[in-house]
Structure 1
Amino acid sequence: MKFTITSILLSLTLISNAQIPDWTKSTCDGTEYNMRTELNRGNAVLMDFSAMWCTPCNIIAPETEQTWQNFDSGNNHLMVFGFLYQDNSFNISDCHDQQTWSLAHGITYPVFTDIEDVLFEYADAYSTNGSVGFPWLLLFLPGNSEHPEEYLAYKGHDINEVNQILQDVWTPQLGINEITYEEKTLIKIVDQLGRNTSYKPNTALIYVYSDGSTKKVFTME
């Protein structure tokens, strides 16, 4: 259901380009990205701070991937970056964690590990008392005639609100009438060996969805 974003728009936090913390990070395959470069290219930037132990982070990860795909996987003026903070044991993330995380959720957007420096800098700039809850989503939009400089359009935990801002604020600036958000459906369940199966309690399963994403499921009964 489409909801009004009047209150969201009224609370947009306007931050000048000079004040937005810059960062340069490399993915585990060695590809380097820079915040200022993406904004200067006219790209909106969605930053997703997550942790592997965080249940809500695991829930929204496939939805964030869908947002990335809705904008042609970085080829239609939206860059999505995952910032993976910790593993399931609260250790700082590494490349093994990134591979596990991306595979579990079908993630194809860039994901960075060992990101404490960026997290703390952005928490200091955009949170109360430097405290944040995961997942923490930050959406930055490039400047336009109304806002000459880049600005923070959203901070919070709801990917649906991010999608609504992209739909109602960002896509009109791009001259796009509407982005189609596909409803993903479960197409099969497989076991750890990739064999088709059905739902079973107390068993590690992998759910495969119509958009290509996957989710590891283990339900105790």
Structure 2
Amino acid sequence: MKKIFLILTLSTAVLNAKSQDTLVSAFFGLDNGLPSLLCNQLGSQLDGMPVNFKFPLDALSLSETDFEVLDSLGNIHTPICAFLAPANENGENRTVLLLGEFGAAVTNPPVEVRVVGDLFTTDTLSGESACSEIINLNGVTTTNIIPLDDGPSLFFAQRIDGNLNECNSGTQTIQVAWNGGITPYISGDNESDLFQYYIGYSDSSGVLIPHVPISIADINDNDNFHQLCFSTSDEIVKVSMMTNTVEDPNQDPNLYSEIDISFCTPLTSIDDIVEEKKRLINVVDFLGRQSKGLKNQALFYIYDDGTVEKRIVIE
């Protein structure tokens, strides 16, 4: 009997991950301020460091061994554990919380975070205005480390629609993300009061028109994401936050912060990208296990330029 083998390339990311600004920042949020029980260990208090990405991450590919933290004395630290929680709802998954020992704030603070394992991004969901590509982040680094005594700032914003939208009123919803966990800074404020300090801006022939949200959603869940509910039909293109309105877990208040809304500008054609010669370095299944390939099984082909190809061989 004659057999026909068909290889389907379902999605191909041909962008070199090392050339992207996918790893936005790391925030030295707490110095020996978290219990080691969070990592299912007994012992001393741990440092906490949120690491922030432009694209959402594949939770199944995440491991603490995917990261290294370099301190100012040249010591390399591997986190004890790593979580997407608490910012792990649909439409989030852009912040990894690293726990471990990463140096001391005064004598040897962290100065660089490196991705050293096969950590993958994933596609955005329906209802997100931002784009994403499926890429392997192995080799990506950042020296944008926010010191312990600095306050939080905005690092990401997008428009949210459909099932991701948690606003009960308004005509458009903007999701914003901070580079560290936040709570209200002003005495007497609850998280539901924070909407009044945000300002959204629409663009009218180059002039930014301010709009104050009518309410705020996605609150009281101990993460770094908010959803801002606007009544205007004018498209919001930027969001800002007034100074001294939120604080991080170290009780450092924010400075004035602003961020542009991310809108998807997809590639017009896969042929528009000139792909350099690349070398296959690994083939893994959906769980990240090495595989020689089985019929009717989805496999990920990993190349040395950061490219990942998802293939299915059908008999």
TM-score, length-normalised on structure 1?
A: 0.29
